[in-house]
Amino acid sequence: MAACALNQRLICFSNSYSRTPTNPCSTWLPRTKTIVFSIPQNKGRLSLTSWTSQSSSEANTQTAESCVSLGLSLFSKGRVKDALVQFETALDLDPTPREAQAALYNKACCHAYLREGKKAADCLRTALAEYNLKFGTILNDPDLASFRALPEFKELQEEARLGGEDIGYGFRRDLKLISEVQAPFRGVRRFFYVAFSAAAGISLLFTIPRLFRAIKGGGDAPDLWETAGNAAINLGGIIVLVALFLWDNKKEEEQLAQITRDETLSRLPLRLSTNRVVELVQLRDTVRPVILAGEKEIVSLAMQKAESSCTELLRRGVLLVPVIWGESRVPEVEKKGFGGRQKAAASLPSIGEDFEKRTQSVIAKSKLKAEIRFRAEVVSPAEWERWIRDQQKSEGVAPGEDVYIILRLDGRVRRSGKGMPDWLQIVNELPPMEAFLSKLER
């Protein structure tokens, strides 16, 4: 429960800007007249202040603020290259930190739109390191969806996870907060590792001179075997404690990497049966997504097998999310005209059809509605495919194999496996949504 709350902290925007649900590029917000929107449908650009009713925005003097505002306006009209020039000009006009952050971020969005991944990454890297940009903003912005599917984003995300002077430590601090909630005793263990190692080291320092005296021998020399045994115990203890400390550090890095993947997963978009596009994080506590990734024939067969257990899967909140390998490289053909309506009309039984055909048609339509209720379509397949391949690498599975991934109600990975799932096993494994165990998952 606490981990979910901190997950929300991780993806929050800075208080310095807001989003508007109407325009693809929002404008700057003045201090005297602030408008807050709760859940915008179409997220826009980072901005600082809004247009005023006076003619101050039409002043002849060019400032960083006016350049960013003009760039946002040009971007909203689709003039991306002209907007890019304005953001670059703003950076040359001695901007304030806030103005520089907005100019760099929106400049990165222009580069992402123009498929210039390296330039976009450089702008975001500077904004993260020098102007306190939240990494959650990059994860959340739909205008950076194409950038998040590029290898430059993966490199940037890995740098942000590790932290450093070149990219800042903000994202790593947020990840560590979540990690401490999920593993609350790691800090206590490390304290004892260090304390016991220090005690063993001090004891070893006092034992070494005694060991030399025991080796030389003499009347007042300590017993050799006893002294050597004490030194061996202290040295062995130090080795074991240091090994445990390093092992705990390695586990923490693996956990931070998993949290990063979980956060990236929560930002991936889906299209529901109502044609509404939502991010996976918005479905938390509501459904248990089951991601099916593989070749089209195999995924289609798995979806057909799921129909036999459709009712029980729905009781357990299962939402099927098919991801077809290579689908992102297939151009989508937009359907125009009234072809869809004609197809729908053709599927209905005519008045002259017999009763049996009508019954079969009604049953088929009922099955289709049931299928739509527990199936969602991925948006931006390249992002989904990249995340799945990263997850495969972390699990030691060759990228590109057919896999399934079952998520918990809180959005974390429950389990995964090669091939397609056994639906009866999933029905037996997952508790119904109204069960007490399901409430514990939330």
Q: Residue 1: what pLDDT?
A: 38
* Whether 124 contacts 133, CB under 8 Å: yes
Residue whose C-alpha is closest to residue 312's, from 408, 430, 439, 420:
430
Euclidean distance between CA atoms 412 and 95, whole angstroms: 41
**Arithmetic mean of pLDDT, 368-395:** 79
Q: In what order do the strands lie in the sheet with 377-378?
A: 277-279, 269-271, 377-378
Q: Residue 243: what pLDDT?
A: 96
Q: Residue 349: what pLDDT?
A: 36
**Residue 357 pLDDT class (50, 70, 90 cuts):** low
Q: How far is CA 421 from CA 42, 66, 307, 402, 433, in A?
A: 35, 56, 13, 10, 20
Residue 101 predicted with pLDDT over 90:
yes
Q: Which two tokens stand for residue 397?
A: 């599975």
Q: Domain residues of the chain, as ranges?
A: 2-181, 186-265, 270-330+355-441
Lowest-confidence region among 4-13, 112-121, 196-205, 209-218: 4-13
Per-residue pLDDT reduced to its tens digit, 76-95: 899 999 999 999 999 999 89
Share of the chain above pLDDT 70, in %: 75
**Residue 190 pLDDT class (50, 70, 90 cuts):** very high
CB neighbour list of residue 254: distance below 8 Å, 6 or more residues apart:
394
**Arithmetic mean of pLDDT, 394-401:** 87
Of 176 and 320, the one with more pLDDT: 320
**Arithmetic mean of pLDDT, 355-365:** 52
Of 394 and 295, the one with more pLDDT: 295
CATH classification code of 2-181:
1.25.40.10
Amino acid, single-letter form, for residue 411: G
Q: Residue 107: what pLDDT?
A: 94
Question: Which fold would CATH assign to domain 270-330+355-441?
Answer: Glutaredoxin (3.40.30)
Per-residue pLDDT reduced to its tens digit, 34-93: 222 233 333 445 555 444 444 444 445 789 999 999 999 999 899 999 999 999 999 999
Residue 213 three-state SS:
helix
